[in-house]
Amino acid sequence: MQLKAREALVRARVNLINSTRLLLKSLGVFAPSQVKATAFVRKLRPLLDNASTSLVEPLLHSIDALSAQIKMLEDKLEELARIQYPAPVVAHL
């Protein structure tokens, strides 16, 4: 179930990033491309003026929040994988 939740959060983050790009593009501001989703907000903020920032700040805040939730789920999934599928012990001859 956690994997499905992560998938839904990633999809929501992608949709918000695309919405932010389209909104900014309509204002003549081009968001950086070829940027990982986890770095999108960090790379975009310095490029924005005050008017653009105030317009998209709610979206940027939501993207950051989703990224934090995704990271938390990824950490939980990694821990679950370590518990359920421990690394095999290799004996040296």
Q: How do residues 32-81 score in pLDDT, each as one tens digit?
A: 889 999 999 999 999 999 999 999 999 999 999 999 999 999 999 999 98
Q: Taking each helix axis as running N to C, give the angle between helix 2-26 and helix 50-84, from 0 to 180 degrees, rounded to the nearest 10.
A: 160
pLDDT at residue 1 greater than cutoff 90: no
What's the 3-state SS for 8-47?
Answer: HHHHHHHHHHHHHHHHHHHCCCCCCCCCCHHHHHHHHHHH
pLDDT at residue 89 greater than cutoff 80: no
In this predicted structure, what is the pLDDT of residue 90?
73
In this predicted structure, what is the pLDDT of residue 57?
97
Per-residue confidence at 93, pLDDT binned at 50, 70, 90?
low
